[in-house]
């Protein structure tokens, strides 16, 4: 009785082991215990899916976030490989491999794409006095940035004294001011972003405040010219009728 029980348990364990090892994914860089591959933006990722020992050729299927990945002919029989160059949109993307017609036995890995804020440039901004000033700094990053600061001509901005406001939404940091003044708001603005992985990076805005120009409302001007033109035309027609009557 014990022999039969041991044989049954051994047979179950063998079947279970075969089931678990039927589908296997290898990756470079390697994934961690949670199936997550941490990789920098645009660094290639190699994924190889293999099927356990089998005499027949079995077709493999790759999914990216539940959408089928188009594979080249011959790259889906018992062994299939993918090469991914991760973009911003691939952060958090899940790649799953399974045997066609048997999605219950599948293995997945998830990409953790790290990147720094893309803000290293200088922007020229010209705005008229008493107009609105809007400066925007891209703070999208993975991992999330730890801080965002704004400075004007090398000194941290005084939001209250300078009549400025800052809005951070996790993707951008926006510095705004309404009715700017040449003596107060012109100069070099700097947005500095600190990343726990990539350090500090900055974007500069050279803001020039010009004198306010007198703006004419084009619509009312056109309407006024049309009215004046029609009035003049009617006057000419009326005058012409009087001249014709006098000549008769």
For the chain, give every domain's residue range.
2-114, 122-210
Q: How far apart are CA 93 and CA 48, in angstroms?
A: 16
Q: How far apart are CA 51 and CA 16, in angstroms?
A: 15
Q: Are 106 and 32 in contact (CB under 8 A)?
A: no
As a whole number, mean pLDDT of residues 24-47 equals 97
User: What pLDDT is recorded for position 186?
Assistant: 94
User: What pLDDT is recorded for position 245?
Assistant: 55
Measure CA 164 to chain center.
Answer: 26
Q: Do domains 2-114 and 122-210 have the same CATH topology?
A: yes
Q: Are 34 and 109 in contact (CB under 8 A)?
A: no
Q: Are 25 and 47 in contact (CB under 8 A)?
A: yes
Does residue 18 register a pLDDT over 50?
no
User: What pLDDT is recorded for position 7?
Assistant: 46
Q: How many CB atoms lie within 10 A of CB 111?
A: 21
User: What pLDDT is recorded for position 234?
Assistant: 67
CATH of 2-114, one of 1.10.3720.10, 2.40.440.10, 2.60.40.10, 3.20.20.70: 2.60.40.10
Share of the chain above pLDDT 90, in %: 65
CATH topology of domain 122-210: Immunoglobulin-like (2.60.40)
User: What pLDDT is recorded for position 149?
Assistant: 96
Give the residue among 77, 82, 53, 145 at the shortest CA–CA distance from 137. Answer: 145
pLDDT in tens, 39-83: 999 999 999 999 887 768 899 999 999 999 999 989 999 999 999
Does residue 238 register a pLDDT over 90?
no
Measure CA 245 to chain center.
Answer: 77
Q: Which tokens go with 133?
A: 């000033």
Residues facing residue 59 across a β-bridge = 77
Give the residue among 60, 165, 37, 49 at the shortest CA–CA distance from 110. Answer: 37
What's the chain's average pLDDT?
Answer: 85
Does residue 4 register a pLDDT over 50?
no
Q: How far apart are CA 222 and CA 227, in angstroms?
A: 9
Does residue 224 register a pLDDT over 70?
no
Which residues neighbour 168 within 8 Å (Cβ) at sequence distance 6 or greater?
Answer: 139, 148, 174
- pTM here is 0.70
pLDDT in tens, 174-221: 999 998 998 899 999 999 999 999 999 999 999 999 998 866 555 666
């Amino acid at each position: 009785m014990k022999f039969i029980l041991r044989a049954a348990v051994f047979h179950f364990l063998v079947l279970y082991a075969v089931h678990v090892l039927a589908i296997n994914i290898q990756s470079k860089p390697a994934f961690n215990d949670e199936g997550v591959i941490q990789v920098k933006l645009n660094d290639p990722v190699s994924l190889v899916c293999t099927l356990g020992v089998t005499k027949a050729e079995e077709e493999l299927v790759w999914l990216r976030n539940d959408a089928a990945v188009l594979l080249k002919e011959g790259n889906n029989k018992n062994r299939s490989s993918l090469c991914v160059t991760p973009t911003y949109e691939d952060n958090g993307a899940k790649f799953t491999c399974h045997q066609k017609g048997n999605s219950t036995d599948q293995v997945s890995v998830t990409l953790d794409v790290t990147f720094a804020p893309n803000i290293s440039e200088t922007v020229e901004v010209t705005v008229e006095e008493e107009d609105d000033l809007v400066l925007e700094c891209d703070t999208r990053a993975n991992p999330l940035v730890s801080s965002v600061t704004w400075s004007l001509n090398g000194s941290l901005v005084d939001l209250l004294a300078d009549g400025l406001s800052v809005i951070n939404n996790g993707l951008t940091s926006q510095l705004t001011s309404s009715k700017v003044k040449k003596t107060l708001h012109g100069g070099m603005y700097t947005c500095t972003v600190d990343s726990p992985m990539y350090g500090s990076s900055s974007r500069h805005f050279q803001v020039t405040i010009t004198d306010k120009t007198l703006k004419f409302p084009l619509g009312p001007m056109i309407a006024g010219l049309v009215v004046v033109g029609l009035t003049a035309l009617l006057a000419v027609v009326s005058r012409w009728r009087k001249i014709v009557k006098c000549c008769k």
